[in-house]
Amino acid sequence: MAGPRPVVLSGPSGAGKSTLLKKLFQEHGSVFGFSVSHTTRNPRPGEEDGKDYYFVTREMMQRDIAAGDFIEHAEFSGNLYGTRSLLGSTGLLPFPAPSKEAVRAVQAMNRICVLDVDLQGVRSIKKTDLHPIYISVQPPSMDVLEQRLRQRNTETEESLAKRLAAAQADMESSKEPGLFDLVIVNDNLDEAYVTLKQALSEEIKKAEGTEHA
């Protein structure tokens, strides 16, 4: 398939994926398309429906998963998350066009499609033929991760504990040979951002080169 390769960004909750993506979209917004996921969790203050996530009920999501509308889905920290396969579910493309994959549609527009998914999502996407670049963002340590999650002020003690338990497993799995093309340790934000940009530079060049063509 022509067009830039999609990018899968994964790593523990609180590692800094959204922060890095925000910087990337601010600098290179026109060459990226974010795959807006569906989730059953509640929106955080400042999150917008259709931009950060499509916030849906478990009933709706289960029905659509059963109908085969998701490329992948996972249960994470007591909520469902998933990437829909229909065009209408991509923030970029508000019109519905069943039977075409959203990720491919973004690629066909010469944009780099970014998917922010957990480890289960990574393993599911590995079974598709999307051929993305797999990047894991890791915190420098569990202690720093806990600090960041607490400072973000978005979790209850219960959800924090669930996220930290998942993070432990995630940090171990990120060492699995061949699972990720690159593991970025997000200690210093600016350094992590430069590393991310370098990893995507070829795809960014490809997309920028064709942007005005």
* Residues with catalytic roles: 44, 152, 163
What is the Cα–Cα distance from 80 to 151, expressed in whole angstroms?
Answer: 24
Query: Per rule CB under 6 A, is residue 79 in the interface with ligand ADP?
Result: no
Query: Per rule CB under 6 A, is residue 121 in the interface with ligand ADP?
Result: no
Query: Between 81 and 193, whose beta carbon lies closer to ligand 5GP?
Result: 81
Query: Between 120 and 173, whose beta carbon lies closer to ligand 5GP?
Result: 120
What is the Cα–Cα distance from 92 to 18, expressed in whole angstroms?
Answer: 18
Token pair listed for 195: 């590393």
Query: Per rule CB under 6 A, is residue 14 in the interface with ligand ADP?
Result: yes
What is the Cα–Cα distance from 133 to 5, expressed in whole angstroms?
Answer: 7
What is the Cα–Cα distance from 21 to 37, expressed in whole angstroms?
Answer: 15
Q: Which of 5, 23, 41, 104 binds ligand 5GP (CB under 6 A)?
A: 41
Q: Which of 151, 156, 177, 178 binds ligand ADP (CB under 6 A)?
A: 151
Query: Between 26 and 151, whose beta carbon lies closer to ligand ADP?
Result: 151
Q: Which of 3, 4, 6, 16 binds ligand ADP (CB under 6 A)?
A: 16
CB neighbour list of residue 146: distance below 8 Å, 6 or more residues apart: 14, 160, 164
CB neighbour list of residue 79: distance below 8 Å, 6 or more residues apart: 39, 40, 41
Query: Per rule CB under 6 A, is residue 17 in the interface with ligand ADP?
Result: yes
Residues that bind ligand ADP (CB under 6 A): 13-19, 148, 151-152, 186, 189, 192
